[in-house]
Amino acid sequence: MEITIPTLGESISGGLLADWKIADGQLVEKGAPLFMLDTDKVSLELTAPESGKVAHLAKAGERVSVGQVVAKIEGGTASIAAAVAVLPTVVPERTRPTHREAITPIRQRIAERMVASHQTTANTTTFADVDMLAVMQTRQKHAAFFEEKHGVKLGYMPFFIKAVVYALQKMPQVNTRWDDDAIVYNDYYDISIAMGAERGLVTPVICDCDKLSLGELEQQLLHFAEKAKTGNLALDELNGGVFTISNGGVYGSMLSTPLLNPPQAAVLGIHAIEERPVALGGQVVIRPRMYAALSYDHRLLDGREAVSFLQLIKQVIEDPAFLLLQ
């Protein structure tokens, strides 16, 4: 009698003959364990369909397929039979309550952009620890004057936008994009600002940031925040942008590695401000600190350039009066 691998299910075409339970040439009783078969779903013990003397036709450790003859049993009455699979007891899977929601077009677009960022760029991240004391003092000192003049409160984002513009002007190789056989240099400063809206992440673009004051930048930010909240951003307000700033700090994030916004060369992630002990002038003092993260496309920028760019941003934030000298 020839012993074959039985059919085990639609998706199982074979497996690994893991171990013989009956040695070659030994006698086996009908129903006794004959060999072990490992599949990609389960391990099975297969038993002899007849009694008789066993002759191995396949070795332990060999891959076998459904229908393949792996042994003979001499003395059996039938000419061919499949080994009998002893199936494990199947415990019904515990069901838990779930529900499904259709994927919205904006969430689908976000998913496509995130996957594209991973697949089409060489995304790498570098970090800096930024002292926020000078910016905080500037905001506090001039808060009333600023709000009276511009009609909005002064936040942190305008300082980072100005710092990014300064760094882009100093290092134009960051203000680029990859275009197959060429590197395209952008000679303008349109900055994308990542904003969390109820329907998903959006990145409205503030154009010509090099020509706008802190007050004008804050007004633009408030304008886009209100439109993002109501879902009324126009398509042309989301297109373009040479660099993105993402503020995870508004949600309490201490550190992250922001994803690139293709085809941009870099994105700055800013985070929550936290008082931490630092060594200054030989003494340990408490200072408000923020971790800043710069993710960049390693096809366009090397580590030296990325770190230098982030250090320029750090320089401006730690001494915002520096902007007045430009």
Which residues are catalytically annotated?
A: 298, 302
Pairwise CA distance, residues 308 & 206, whole Å: 24
Contact (Cβ atoms closer than 8 angstroms) between residue 293 and residue 126: yes
Which residues, 6 or more positions from 157, have their beta carbon under 8 angstroms from its beta carbon?
193, 217, 218, 221, 245, 247
Three-state SS sequence of the chain: CEEECCCCCCCCCEEEEEEECCCCCCEECCCCEEEEEECCCCEEEEECCCCEEEEECCCCCEEEECCCEEEEEECCCCCEEECEEECCCCCCCCCCCCCCCCCCHHHHHHHHHHHHHHHHCCEEEEEEEEECHHHHHHHHHHHHHHHHHHCCCCCCHHHHHHHHHHHHHHCHHHCEEEECCEEEECCCCCEEEEEEECCEEECCEECCHHHCCHHHHHHHHHHHHHHHHHCCCCHHHCCCCCEEEEEHHHHCCCCCCCCCCCCECEEEEECCCEEEEEEECCEEEEEEEEEEEEEEECCCCCHHHHHHHHHHHHHHHHCHHHHHHC
- Sign of the Cα torsion 189, 195, 199, 200 reads positive
Backbone angles phi, psi at 193, to 5 degrees: -115, 115
